[in-house]
């Protein structure tokens, strides 16, 4: 009987001295969760400036098809035959970006340097382009392969290493229909397929979000309202 009394007494004492969980912990959890979710939210871009070489025009038109469908604007500056070096050394690059005031800058460069097997000499120009973009989001659309050519892996790997996986979209492995067997430029359908792949990649990899990702139901390629074209021999 004595043992039973002692056991009951100890049990009651343990209940009295067991510290209660602070009520505020449970109350704070929703706030902490909301704060964590807020940190993980990506900026939604409403305007994209697409710059680059001759690939850029039709890429921008296909992207603008998505823009019309999903509520974002695209402006583009195409410099035919241009290179990473040309854009990096252009004194007007920063001015163009500031004038357009985009939330994100898309770059399509590297096609005209695709066979460069020692691309470290491009680092200064690449850094100048990144510097001009500044705090805005950047997406670099890597160059696709040339028909019948295996070269280009070195440059694509180098760009990926320099820019990082949330900035660099690797196009090199895509199978895109071309305008002809000897033409590096994808056909209109090839450009649409290319942009479809880019848009599919953005939600998981990019540092930003688009307002929507629905494929264009009407016109798949729409020329942007702001479309600036420079020929190969012209300066930017």
87-118 residue pLDDT tens? 999 999 999 999 999 999 999 999 999 999 99
- How far apart CA 208 and CA 222 sit, in angstroms, is 23
pLDDT digits (tens, 9 = 90+) for 10-67: 343 344 444 444 444 544 555 655 444 444 689 999 999 999 999 999 999 999 999 9
- What's residue 37's pLDDT? 47
**pTM for this predicted structure:** 0.82
The alpha carbon of 173 is separated from its chain's Cα centroid by a whole number of angstroms, namely 17
Q: Domain 45-230: give its CATH architecture.
A: 3-Layer(aba) Sandwich (3.40)
Consecutive H or E run containing 76: strand 73-79
- Kindly report, as residue ranges, where domains of CATH 3.40.50.1110 are found in the chain: 45-230
User: In this predicted structure, which of 83-97, 160-174, 215-229 has the lowest mean pLDDT?
Assistant: 215-229
Output the six-digit token pair for 60: 């921008």
Per-residue pLDDT band for 148 (boundaries 50, 70, 90) equals low
pLDDT of 4 higher than 80? no
Percent of the chain whose predicted confidence (pLDDT) is above 70: 83
- What's residue 101's pLDDT? 97
SS3 state at 226: strand
Query: Residue for token digits 């090199």?
Result: 172
């Amino acid at each position: 009987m004595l043992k039973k009394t002692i056991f009951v007494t100890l049990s009651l004492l343990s209940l009295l001295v067991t510290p209660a969980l602070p009520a505020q912990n449970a109350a704070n959890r929703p706030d902490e969760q909301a704060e964590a979710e807020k940190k993980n939210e990506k900026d939604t871009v409403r305007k994209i400036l697409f710059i680059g070489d001759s690939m850029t025009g039709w890429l921008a038109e296909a992207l603008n098809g998505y823009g019309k469908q999903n509520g974002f604007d695209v402006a583009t500056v195409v410099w035919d035959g241009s290179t990473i070096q040309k854009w990096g050394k252009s004194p007007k690059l920063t001015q163009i970006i500031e004038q357009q005031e985009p939330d994100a800058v898309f770059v399509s460069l590297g096609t005209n340097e695709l066979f460069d097997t020692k691309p470290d000499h491009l680092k200064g120009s690449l850094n100048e382009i990144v510097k001009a973009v500044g705090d805005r989001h950047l997406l670099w659309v890597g160059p696709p392969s040339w028909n019948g050519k295996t070269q280009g892996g070195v440059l694509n790997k180098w760009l990926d290493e320099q820019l990082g996986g949330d900035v660099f979209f690797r196009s090199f492995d895509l199978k895109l229909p071309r305008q002809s067997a000897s033409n590096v430029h994808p056909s209109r359908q090839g450009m649409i397929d290319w942009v479809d792949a880019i848009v599919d990649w953005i939600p998981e990899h990019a540092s930003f979000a688009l307002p929507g990702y629905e494929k264009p139901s009407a016109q798949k390629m729409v020329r942007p309202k702001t479309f600036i074209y420079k020929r190969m021999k012209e300066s930017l």
